[in-house]
Amino acid sequence: QVQLVESGGGSVQAGGSLRLSCVASGWFSVGINCIGWFRQAPGQEREGVGGILIDGGSTFYADSVKGRFTISRNNAKRTVYLEMNNLKPEDTAMYYCAAARVCLSSLPPENFDYWGQGTQVTVSS
C-alpha cells in the first residue's frame, strides 16, 4: 500500500514562494514510477500541475505553471517537492500529490491510484 503525505502549504502574497513536500511510503513495492501534483480550487475541477518520473527524474508541467513551478525528487528520502515561485492569486487551491505506475504528460487524474490528503495554498493580491 502506498501512502502519501503532503506538507508545506500556507498563505503568501502574490509574487512569493512556497515549497511543498510529498513523502511517500511503499512506492517500490507496487511499482510506482510517477508522482504527480494536482490542485483543486473551490467549485473547480482538479487540475494537473506537473509530474516527475521516479526513474530518471524527467519532469513535465501544465502550461499555467511552466517557468514558475519546479518538481524534484529525493529518492533516498522518498520525497517529491513542488517549488512554487512568483505565485499568483489564481494559484490558490488545495494541492495534492498522487502516485501512478505510468506517467502520462496529460496528467489524467484517473491514472493515479494513490492520493495524499492535500495541503492548502492561499495567495493574496
Sole residue written with cell 491510484: 113
Q: What is the mean pLDDT of residues 115-121?
A: 97
Report pLDDT for 36: 97
| C-alpha to C-alpha distance for 3 and 82, rounded to whole angstroms | 18
What pLDDT, in 10s, does the model give residues 21-60?
999 988 766 788 999 999 999 999 999 999 999 988 999 9
DSSP type of residue 58: -
**54 close to 73: Cβ distance less than 8 angstroms:** yes
The stretch 108-113 carries a mean pLDDT of: 94
DSSP one-letter code for 26: S
The vertex-18 CA angle with 80 and 109, nearest 5°, equals 50
CB contact set of 65 (below 8 Å; sequence gap of 6+): 49, 50, 84, 91
Per-residue cell: 12: 503568501
**Confidence at residue 118, expressed as pLDDT on a 0 to 100 scale:** 97
Return the pLDDT at 29: 67
Q: How high is the pLDDT of residue 115?
A: 97
Does the pLDDT value for residue 1 go beyond 90? Answer: no
Q: In this predicted structure, what is the pLDDT of residue 16?
A: 98
pLDDT digits (tens, 9 = 90+) for 9-18: 999 999 999 9
Residue appearing with cell numbers 511517500: 24
